Amino acid sequence: MRDILRNLSLRAFRVWQRDADVYFTVWKTEFLPPLIEPMLYVFGFGLGLGQLVHDVHYQGRTLTYLAFMAPGVLAVAIMFWAFFETTFSSYVRMYYQKTFDAILATPLLVEDVILGELLWGTAKSMIASTIMLGVLTALGLVHWPSGLLVIVIAAAGGLLFSAFGLIMTSAVKTISQFNVPMFAFILPMFTFSGTFFPLDILPPWALAVAWLLPLTHITILVRSAVLGMAHPMLPISAAYLVVVSLVLAGWSLVRMKKRLIQ
C-alpha cells in the first residue's frame, strides 16, 4: 500500500484525458442517454405512477410524487454511470483493447492507470448528473442554487462507485460475470435506497440494511440539495460518503494492481 501511495502521480491525468478524448470523439452517442433518461423516468414513473401516488410525505413536507422521485433519478444516475464505466468500459480497455498495456509502455505506472480510470468514472457521474440537472431544472424540479451541490455529491458518489466497479473488474474472469454485482448490489440498491419511495415505509430489518447501502446516503444528500431542505442524517451521510469512497478507492488500487501485475 505504501508503494502504491508513493507511485501515485499527476500523470494519472493523462489516462483521464485519454478516456475523456474518446468520450468527446463519440459524444453524440454519449450525451444522449443522460438527456433522455430523466425524461423517460419523469414521463414514465412521474406522470404514470404519479397518477396513482398523489402526495409523498417527506421530512415534514408534502411533495408531489414527481418532485420526490426526481432526486432519486439523479442519485441512481451517479451510481450507474460510474459503475458501468469502471466495469464494462474499463474491462474493454483492459482486456480487449489492451489500452492499459499501451499506456504501461510509457513512463506511466500501473497506479497512474488505475487512478486515471477511477477519476474518469467519477467524471462520467459528474457529467451525467450535470446534464440531468439541467433537464430537471427545465422541468421546474430543482431548487437553486442548492441544486448545484449535486455536482459535488456526484464527485464523491462517482468515486465510490468507480472504485466499487474497479474492484469488480479486478475480480471477474469474463465480462459476463459483471452480472453478479449487477444483481447482487446494483439493482437492489436501485430499488431499496429511498430512491423511488421513502425509506420509512420499509419494515425495520430492511431499513437497517438500507442504511448500510451507499446509494441510500447519496439519495439523502441529493434530495436535500435538489429540494433545498435539510435532513437530520445529512452529516452522517456526508461522512459515510467521504470515508467509504476513500476506503474503496484505496482497495481498488490494491486489487487492480494485483490483477494487472502478476
Contact residues toward another protein (CB under 8 A) are 11, 14, 17-18, 21-22, 25-26, 97-99, 101-109, 261-262
Least separation in angstroms between CB 85 and another protein: 15
Taking the least distance from each CB to another protein, the nearer of 223 and 257 is: 257
Taking the least distance from each CB to another protein, the nearer of 13 and 211 is: 13
Taking the least distance from each CB to another protein, the nearer of 52 and 261 is: 261
Least separation in angstroms between CB 17 and another protein: 7
Taking the least distance from each CB to another protein, the nearer of 42 and 118 is: 118
Task: Provide DSSP, the chain.
Answer: -HHHHHH--TTHHHHHHHHHHHHHHTHHHHHHHHHHHHHHHIIIIIIIIHHH--EEEETTEEEEHHHHHHHHHHHHHHHHHHHHIIIIIHHIIIIIS-HHHHHHTTT--HHHHHHHHHHHHHHHHHHHHHHHHHHHHHTT---TTGGGHHHHHHHHHHHHHHHHHHHHHHH-SSGGGGHHHIIIIIHHHHHHSSSSS-GGGS-HHHHHHHHHSHHHHHHHHHHHHHHT---TTHHHHHHHHHHHHHHHHHHHHHHHHHHH--
Least separation in angstroms between CB 8 and another protein: 13
Least separation in angstroms between CB 1 and another protein: 16
Taking the least distance from each CB to another protein, the nearer of 78 and 108 is: 108
Least separation in angstroms between CB 108 and another protein: 5
